Amino acid sequence: MVNLNDIKAAAVRLKPIIVRTPLISSPALNEIAGGTVLLKAENLQRIGSFKIRGAYNLLSQLTPEQAKRGVIAFSSGNHAQAVAAAGTMLGIETTIVMPEDAPRIKIENTRTLGGITVLYDRYTGDRETIAREMAAERGCEVVPSYDHEHIIAGQGTTGLEIVDQCAEAGVVPDQVLINCSGGGLTAGCAVAIKGQLPGVTIHPVEPEQYDDTRRSLISGKREHVDVSAKSICDALQVATPGKITFSINKELLGDGLVVSDDEVRDAIRFAFAQLKLVVEPGGAASLAAVLAGKVDTRDKVTVAVLSGGNIDAEMFAAIQTGQD
């Protein structure tokens, strides 16, 4: 199980690598919420996503022999970019299995950052199976996107920063909303935040048709997403929570929240118009939950994590004009 000391050790490892992203407030958002809302802008993180935290934390702890053989990852885009960037920084060859319909910007950025991409059809193929078969053939390490202790600890440094920045601002958060796919960011932040502020409620936020974590928290076992599920939140399209992440999340999380694609579009428009921020669909889910009133924010301090900003220009423009 990942503990607070693991996350603090990851923070030391990551300090020269990552950006300490700002905690942003907005009078317009506070008025809508009827309370104080603070946005953790991980869309401004290196490679445009929190994912660099976990990827670098894992790759930097490989043995020289493991590093020499290279690594393989599987991702819809943000983890792919993070692994490619971390590999280039550390001199490790990286191969990433990605869905062929992933946002073009994520595929192109992964290649620019030094990753070798292998594309597959997300509706007929299984990215994890493809990656693990390739890794077995090559004798190299698989870098999971969420279900690994080093990944979770790295992502949890986001939570450490939230606690520190709230203290600097003189506020104590009542609740933290975190966009949730496989649960790595949620689990890491839950350990980091509740390890220091046990009274804070952590809410995972998911797309309507990808609410596997919400349903799993209710049933107490790992639930699966229907194969026909669709969402514009490509970064949050995971079929079931991770084994390690869910073992943490089921003990530490509050109720799961869900948002529709239209609510996510509204959040993307709000972030651009009011905050001058570009946020991708999966990164905007927590903000969408606040704007849509999915959680009680009146007279409370709420932190929402904007987990990524990698969105194709065409999709962003279509959302802004209401044509998406």
Q: How many domains does the structure of the chain reveal?
A: 2
Burial label for 258, CB within 10 Å (0-12, 13-18, 19+), is buried
Q: What is the pLDDT of residue 112?
A: 96
Residues 182 and 287 in one domain: yes
Residues 121 and 253 in one domain: no
Q: Are residues 206 and 260 in the same domain?
A: yes
Task: Read off φ and ψ for residue 259, nearest 5 degrees.
Answer: -135, 150
Closest CA to 143 of 77, 65, 78, 54: 54
Q: Are residues 111 and 213 in the same domain?
A: no
The verdict on 316 and 218 lying in the same domain is yes
Asked if residue 168 and residue 92 are part of one domain, the reply reads: no
pLDDT at 155: 98
- pTM of the predicted structure, to 2 decimals: 0.96
- Tell me what pLDDT residue 122 has: 79
**Is-catalytic flag, 76?**
yes
Last residue of a domain, one of 143, 174, 197: 143
End residue of a domain, out of 126, 143, 160: 143
Q: Do residues 184 and 126 both lie within one domain?
A: no
The whole-number pLDDT of residue 55 equals 98
CB atoms under 10 Å from CB of 244, counted, come to 21
User: Tokens for 270?
Assistant: 């709000």
Q: What is the pLDDT of residue 324?
A: 81
Residue pLDDT tens, the chain, 324 long: 899 999 999 999 999 999 999 999 999 999 999 999 999 999 999 999 999 999 999 999 999 999 999 999 998 789 999 999 999 999 999 999 998 988 888 999 999 999 999 999 878 888 889 999 999 999 999 999 999 999 999 999 999 999 999 999 999 999 999 999 999 999 999 999 999 999 999 999 999 999 999 999 999 999 999 989 999 999 999 999 999 999 999 999 999 999 999 999 999 999 999 999 999 999 999 999 999 999 999 999 999 999 999 999 999 999 999 988
Q: Choosing from 60, 76, 216, 307, which is the catalytic residue?
A: 76
Q: Using only C-alpha atoms, what is the Rg of the chain? A: 18
Give the pLDDT of residue 102: 87
From 113, 143, 173, the end of a domain falls on 143
211 in the same domain as 119: no
Catalytic residue among 40, 51, 194, 250: 51
CATH of the domain at 310: 3.40.50.1100
pLDDT at 278: 98
pLDDT confidence of residue 138: 92
Q: Rounded to whole angstroms, how far apart are CA atoms 270 and 309?
A: 14
Q: In terms of residue numbers, what domain contains 123?
A: 52-143
Same domain, 105 and 164: no
Q: Is 34 left (phi over 0), alpha (psi -120 to 50) or beta?
A: left
**Cα 244 to the chain's mean position, in Å?**
16
Same domain, 210 and 301: yes
Does 17 share its domain with 73?
Answer: no
| 255 and 153 assigned to the same domain | yes
C-alpha closest to that of 114 among 83, 148, 68, 70: 83
